[in-house]
Amino acid sequence: MPPLRRYAWRVRRRILLLAFFLIISVLILRRMQWSSSKIIRVPQQEEPSFNIRDFMVPVKNVHSDDGIPLQENEGPKGCLPGYYSAAELQPRFKRPYSAPWAPGAGGLAYQLSDLTDEETMELNMGYETYNLNVFVSDRISLHRDLGPDSRPPECLAKKFKRCPALSPVSVIIVFHNEAFSTLLRTVYSVLYTVPRFLLLEIILVDDASPNEDMKRTLDEYVRLLEVVRVLRQPVRKGLVGARLLGAEQAKADVLVFLDAHCECWPGWLEPLLERIALDNTLVVSPDIVSINMHNFQFKWPAPKRSSHARGIFDWSLVFMWEPLPKTLESVRTDETQPIQTPAIAGGLFAISKSYFQHIGTYDPEMKIWGGENLEMSLRVWMCGGKLEILPCSVVGHVFRTESPHSFPEGGSVISRNLVRLAEVWMDEYKVLFYNRVMEAARIFKEKSYGDLSQRHQLRERLGCKPFSWYLKTVRPDFFIPELNPRFYGAMLNKGLKMCLDASEMHDGRAEVGISKCHGDADTQYFEYTSLNEIKHNVNRELCLSVAHPTLTLQYCVARDGEKNVPPYQSFSYEMDGQLQSHKFGLCLQAMRNTLFLASCTSEEPRQVWVFFTELPDERPDGPGKSTE
């Protein structure tokens, strides 16, 4: 090829290659512009932030601010369907791993052995200060697990609807000189069991504990726990005053009160909140199980239960537990069903804050401790609410044999609190309480129970039902003694200067003997009825019964106004103080540690019995107080 043509061909080839690359570049550029324009046209969406309010439906308040019931209406718009997922119900903190052989792990008891002299001294000091085994508590992890979930299958399978929504809670824990380990174990058990979105805060209320070292240590500790804060009272006001402070400062819609020595079982809170979401006039309590005060054994819930308990009180206004009556037990088909209870223990319960305020919170003039749970129980029932126990909600509690704390005004503070309850809520039946509790009768007589005008106004404003309604409707199985028995009080034997005394029931009967007079109604209250019976009727109706030569207390034969008293439960009691059996014509005589029937003689002082209603320095010489 000639040089000129070869040169021309090379130029043309280069031009073609350049054109090809230019076309390719333009196509690529246009493709990129088109892709870019497609991306730009799609609007950017930010990931929505989680806001608990978006997943809540406010609990319907059935009372307006002025106490007028609101009308029923449909649920709020935007109420989410379905059920809360397991992921949503995860707690705020994950419980750290605990070796199964660690002290107290799995809720097991921590058994002590081979203590040194120094350890024994520490053990004894713990009991003396806190009336529980702090030595053991301090050696059990604050984060201990309680073992596998052994609640009934229906509790484990229970799901909770989103609508009406479960409301966040403020958990309020009051303490006074509480052991550090029991208090913090309570706090951690809440953190490890309450779903994150339901726990707004934990409020620790220090009721003027004098231990300054404990205060500093606690303050430093809770700084690490973002939802925990401490409130302190400068002077001791007691349980009621401390709880009122916590409730006033609480930010959540639902208040949960716990004692400072508890451990919460997984899934304990949701059943309580579900009931309040459905009806905010419900005051709900968990099923309270025991934590042994000596070895901290947790009493695990049983997967299959044959019986349940409910809270009641006797005529001396002492709270106690009793088995659920068979008529109520027999209709139960499911452990998720609530149990209506005449009274609550008071240490552990949940309540809507708005309803707590509407119903009158606590009686602020009740001092230190005692009676506030019964006062709230009567007030809730008589003023339109209900009390329930939820078997699927389980919380352990350290039950101590006695309070380790002092009462600044003496033991009479409890009686004073109960007098305030009786005067406001028990109507004409309050005399049954005064007959049985001498200290309360004295306080009532002296009118040293404080001003009650605001509590009476509260009852009137709420339109509460009478106490007779409570007895007929809430406790129809509770016996009602005579309001005006012929004689009542403790029965003093003039010859021995000792009192008739009842023992505990066994096999349907109780032994009766004689002991030093103390006036405690539980064992030394008796009355001579209009039917000539000698009754011991504080928490059950028992009658003095004779089967010569023995005397026992047995269930009374005559019931509710019947007059068919058998001769072996019938006695004559005359002004000479002798108590004569109608069956045998013999008189009740005392010897030290024993009672028997003997021939009646006016010359035997050990056959003379005197009823008295107070504990004076000198005993009365004649028959006791008559109400005829």
What secondary structure, in 3-state letters, does 416-485 show? Answer: HHHHHHHHHHCHHHHHHHHHHCHHHHHHHHHCCCCCCHHHHHHHHHHCCCCHHHHHHHCCCCCCCCCCCC
Phi, psi dihedral angles at 434 (to 5 degrees): -65, -35
Is 104 a domain residue?
Answer: no
- Per-residue pLDDT at 586 exceeds 60: yes
Q: What is the mean pLDDT of residues 455-462?
A: 98
What pLDDT does 411 receive?
65
d(CA 296, CA 105): 10
Identify whether residues 502 and 382 lie together within a single domain: no
- Per-residue pLDDT at 5 exceeds 90: no
Identify whether residues 230 and 339 lie together within a single domain: yes
pTM over 0.75: yes
How many Cβ atoms are within 10 Å of 23's Cβ, its own excluded? 10
What pLDDT does 624 receive?
45
8 Å CB contact between 232 and 241: no
- Per-residue pLDDT at 51 exceeds 80: no
Q: What is the mean pLDDT of residues 461-468?
A: 98
- Give the end of a domain, one of 398, 432, 456: 398
Strand duo 386-398 + 282-291: pairing? parallel
List beta partners, residue 578: 608
- Per-residue pLDDT at 340 exceeds 90: yes
What pLDDT does 593 receive?
79
8 Å CB contact between 368 and 239: yes
Band the pLDDT of 22: cuts 50, 70, 90. low
What pLDDT does 75 receive?
42
Identify the residue with better confidence: 307 or 212: 307
What pLDDT does 214 receive?
79
Band the pLDDT of 575: cuts 50, 70, 90. confident
Identify whether residues 169 and 288 lie together within a single domain: yes
Closest CA to 405 of 160, 207, 143, 215: 207
What pLDDT does 405 receive?
61
Q: What is the mean pLDDT of residues 475-489?
A: 95
- Give the end of a domain, one of 354, 376, 398: 398
pLDDT tens figures, 421-431: 999 999 999 99
Is 388 a domain residue?
Answer: yes
What pLDDT does 24 receive?
59
Is 292 a domain residue?
Answer: yes
- Per-residue pLDDT at 53 exceeds 60: no
What pLDDT does 408 receive?
64
List beta partners, residue 591: 594
Q: How large is the greatest C-alpha to C-alpha distance in the chain, in angstroms?
A: 167
8 Å CB contact between 418 and 440: yes
Domain that holds residue 581: 487-612
What pLDDT does 69 receive?
36
* 3-state secondary structure labels for all residues of 499-559: EEEEEEEECCEEEEEEECCCCCHHHHCEEECCCCCEEECCCCCEEEEEECCEEEEEECCCC
pLDDT tens figures, 121-147: 999 999 998 999 999 999 999 999 999
Is 417 a domain residue?
Answer: no
What pLDDT does 627 receive?
38
What pLDDT does 511 receive?
92
- Per-residue pLDDT at 447 exceeds 50: yes
| CATH number reported for the structural domain that contains residue 182 in this entry | 3.90.550.10
What pLDDT does 76 receive?
47
What pLDDT does 216 receive?
86
Band the pLDDT of 195: cuts 50, 70, 90. very high
pLDDT tens figures, 605-627: 999 999 999 875 443 444 444 33
What tokens does 604 get? 């035997």
How many Cβ atoms are within 10 Å of 377's Cβ, its own excluded? 27
Is 109 a domain residue?
Answer: no
What tokens does 247 get? 């409730």
Band the pLDDT of 92: cuts 50, 70, 90. confident
| CATH number reported for the structural domain that contains residue 512 in this entry | 2.80.10.50
What pLDDT does 70 receive?
37
What pLDDT does 139 receive?
95
Closest CA to 567 of 548, 590, 539, 594: 548
What pLDDT does 547 receive?
83
pLDDT tens figures, 513-541: 999 999 899 999 999 999 999 999 999 99
Mean pLDDT rounded to a whole number for the chain = 86
Q: What is the mean pLDDT of residues 332-358?
A: 95
- Per-residue pLDDT at 186 exceeds 90: yes
Is 459 a domain residue?
Answer: no
Identify the residue with better confidence: 194 or 63: 194
pLDDT tens figures, 556-566: 998 766 678 99
Is 573 a domain residue?
Answer: yes
Identify whether residues 381 and 492 lie together within a single domain: no
d(CA 292, CA 295): 6
Identify whether residues 492 and 391 lie together within a single domain: no
Band the pLDDT of 401: cuts 50, 70, 90. confident
Q: Which residue has the tokens 């430093």?
A: 220
Band the pLDDT of 21: cuts 50, 70, 90. low
Identify whether residues 210 and 347 lie together within a single domain: yes
Q: Is 418 exposed, middle or buried (0-12, 13-18, 19+ CB in 10 A)?
A: buried
Identify whether residues 375 and 274 lie together within a single domain: yes
What tokens does 132 get? 């529980």
What pLDDT does 78 receive?
57
Identify whether residues 394 and 520 lie together within a single domain: no
Phi, psi dihedral angles at 125 (to 5 degrees): -65, -35
- Per-residue pLDDT at 396 exceeds 60: yes
Number of compact structural domains in the chain:
2
Closest CA to 553 of 600, 593, 595: 595
What percent of the chain is predicted at pLDDT more than 70?
83
Q: Is 271 exposed, middle or buried (0-12, 13-18, 19+ CB in 10 A)?
A: buried
What tokens does 463 get? 């339109």
- Give the end of a domain, one of 336, 370, 398: 398
Identify the residue with better confidence: 64 or 8: 8
What tokens does 524 get? 């030394």
Is 358 a domain residue?
Answer: yes
Q: What is the mean pLDDT of residues 171-200?
A: 96
d(CA 497, CA 41): 102
- Per-residue pLDDT at 232 exceeds 80: yes
Least confident stretch, 245-254, 408-417, 447-456:
408-417
- Which residues, in sequence order, are CB contacts of 111 under 8 Å at separation 6+? 295
Identify whether residues 394 and 540 lie together within a single domain: no
- Per-residue pLDDT at 55 exceeds 80: no
d(CA 240, CA 363): 8
